[in-house]
Structure 1
C-alpha cells in the first residue's frame, strides 16, 4: 500500500523545476491522486532550481516542501530532493506531469513483492487526448525480455517523469548526474543501477499523465544537450568503440556537431570518472540501439 504499517507514507513525490509557476499551479494539486481513496497522501518535495519567478511560492502555497537551490542543478536537483526524503520510495514527476489515481499505491505493492527491482517505469499518456508516449511503446517491446524476479519487461532507459525508485538504491547509485544536467540524463542512472545488480522494469498498469509545456522550449538546444549527454554517458560507462560510434553519429547534423563540441569540452574533467559497466550489462545495452 502507499502507507507503511507505522502510518507513515511509503513514497515521496519529487518534482524538479525552474521558472514554471503556471505549470505547478496545475500539477501539484493532482499528486495526491496517485493514491487510491483512503490510502493517504504522498509528501511532495519541489526542488526549485534557482527560479526567477514565483515558482517556490506557488509550490509552498500548494503544500509542498520546497528546496530553494542556490543555482540550477538540472536533473541533479532530484537527487538533492531524494536525499531530503524520508520514505522508502521516491516517485519522480515533472512540473507538467502527475501520477494517475492509485498508481503510487500499486507501485509500492509491486516493489515490495519484487525486492531486487529498484525502478519501475510507468506508462505515459500525453495530453488531454491521452496519446501513448512513444517511449512507453518502445519499453513495452523491450528486446531484453522479462527475467525472473522482474514485474515487467526489463529496461535500460526511461522517462524521468514516470518512474518510482527505491530511495536507497537510487542514492547508492549516485542519483542523477550533475555533469549531465538535463537532456538524456536517464541512461547513466539506468546503467549504474543495472551494474549494481538491480532490476529495472516497465509496468504498464502504472500510469503517468504528461501535459508537456511549450513555455521556454528550445528544440535545437534540447537536441544539442541530448547529443552531448549521449557521448558523455558512452565515455563514462561504455567501451571505447561505442564512444567513437556515438561521436561519428553526432557529426551528421548541425545540432549533433554542436553537442559533440560541448561533450569534448567536458571530457577533460571526466578522465578519472570512466567506469565501464560489467559485460552482461553492456551486452544488454548493445541490444537496444545501433551503438
Structure 2
C-alpha cells in the first residue's frame, strides 16, 4: 500500500486506525494528502503502508488507538480517517486555515458523503440544520457530536481533554470527547465545505454486538457526565435494546462513579436541545 497523492499540507497529520481490513486500507491510503500515521489495532497480519508511518499495537484498543497516533503526530492539527474513508482534496488545507483563524475552535467536523453515489450521511444532514446556532466568532454551526472519520482537531486541545476514552472501546465514543471539549471552553463546528468520502462495508460487522456496545456506552457516558434523568433514560433504552447491555455496564460502574464530572449548564443545555 503506497501513498500516491501529492501532499497538500504539512500542518495536518492524518491518523488512520485499522484492524484486519487490508483491502479497505489499500483502496483509501493512496487518496490521503497529508502525512499519515496508521495505527494498527492488533491485526492478525500488520498491514504494509509504504509512505506512511505504521504503529503496531499488538492488541485492539478500539477508538483509543487514535490517541496514540495523535501523541506521535508533530503537527498542530490532526485529522482522523477510517480505513474505509478519505478526505476530499483541498479539505485539509482549508481546515488548517480555519483552525488558525479561529483560535477558540478545537474541532471541525466535515460533511460526509457515503458510498460511490456520494449520498449525504444523515448525521451531516442534521448538523447542517444548525440546531445549536452559530456562536459569535464560531467557524460554523455549533455541534456537540461528530463522526470520528470526519474531524480535524487541534492536537493540544484533544490531548488535554484526554482523547477517546479507552473503556468505551468503540461505538459512541465521540459523545464524551465532544462534551469534554465543550466543557473546557472550546468551540466545535460543522463545516460543509470540508468533505469526507466514506465507503462502509457490512462485511465482518456484527449488528447485534454493535447495538449492545452502543447502548452500554450511552449509559457509561451518562453516568460520567449527565444528570440522573438522562442516566435513567439511557438505562431504560439499554434494557429495551438488549438486557446484556445493562449487565455490561456493571463492571465499569465503580470507575464511572469515581470519574463522574457534571457538565456546565450551557453544555448540558445544548445536549438537551439535541435530544442526546
TM-score range, shorter chain: over 0.9
Q: How does 1:45-60 map to 2 (within 5 A)?
A: 45-53=37-45, 56-59=46-49
Q: CA deviation at 1:25?
A: 0.5
Structure-to-structure mapping, 1:35-54, within 5 angstroms: 42-53=34-45
* Bigger mean CA deviation after superposition, 228-237 or 240-249: 240-249
With 147-156 and 86-95 compared, the bigger mean Cα shift is at: 147-156
Q: Distance in 1 between matches of 2:63 and 2:226?
A: 21
Q: 2: CA distance between counterparts of 1:117 and 1:238?
A: 23
Alignment partner for residue 275 of structure 1, among 237, 261, 264? 261
RMSD over aligned CA atoms reads 1.3
Matched, 1:249 2:271: no
Partner of 2:3: none
Give the 5 Å matches for 1:169-180.
Answer: 169-180=157-168
Summarize deviations over 1:67-122 as a string: whole Å, max 9, x none: 11021110000001100000000000000000001000011111111110100000
SS at structure 2 position matched to 1:29: helix
Provide runs of 4+ in structure 1 moved above 4 Å: none
Shift of 1:2: 5.5
Q: CA deviation at 1:177?
A: 0.6
Residue in structure 1 matching 2:246, options 249, 260, 270: 260
Say whether the 8 Å CA contact 2:43–2:58 is kept in structure 1.
no
Q: Distance in 2 between matches of 1:79 and 1:215?
A: 26
- Contact 1:15/1:95 (8 A) holds in 2: yes
| Inter-partner Cα distance in structure 2 for 1:65 and 1:131 | 31
- Asked if 2 retains the 8 angstrom alpha-carbon contact of 1:2 and 1:10, the reply is no
**Following superposition of structure 1 onto structure 2, how do residues 58-207 of structure 1 map, counting pairs within 5 Å?**
58-59=48-49, 61=50, 63-207=51-195
The count of corresponding residues between Structure 1 and Structure 2 is 270
Matched, 1:230 2:222: no
* Counterpart-to-counterpart distance in 1, 2:203 and 2:103: 40
| SS in structure 2 at match of 1:146 | coil
Deviation readout 1:151-197 (Å, 9 max, x if unpaired): 11100011000000000000000000101000000000000000000
Q: Secondary structure at the match of 1:150?
A: coil
Report the Cα distance in structure 2 between the residues aligned to 1:102 and 1:258, rounded to whole angstroms. 45
Q: Distance in 2 between matches of 1:143 and 1:264?
A: 34
Match of 2:28 in 1: 27
Q: Which runs of 5+ in 1 are unaligned?
A: 4-8, 33-41
Cα displacement (A) at 1:261? 1.7
Q: Distance in 2 between matches of 1:28 and 1:73?
A: 21
Report the CA distance between 1:268 and its aligned residue.
Answer: 2.2
Per the TM alignment, residue 210 of structure 1 is displaced from its structure 2 partner at its CA by: 0.2
CA distance in 1, matches of 2:246, 2:141: 32
SS in 2 for 1:143: coil
CA deviation after TM superposition for structure 1 residue 220, in Å: 0.8
Structure 1 CA distance for aligned equivalents of residues 19 and 96 of structure 2: 29
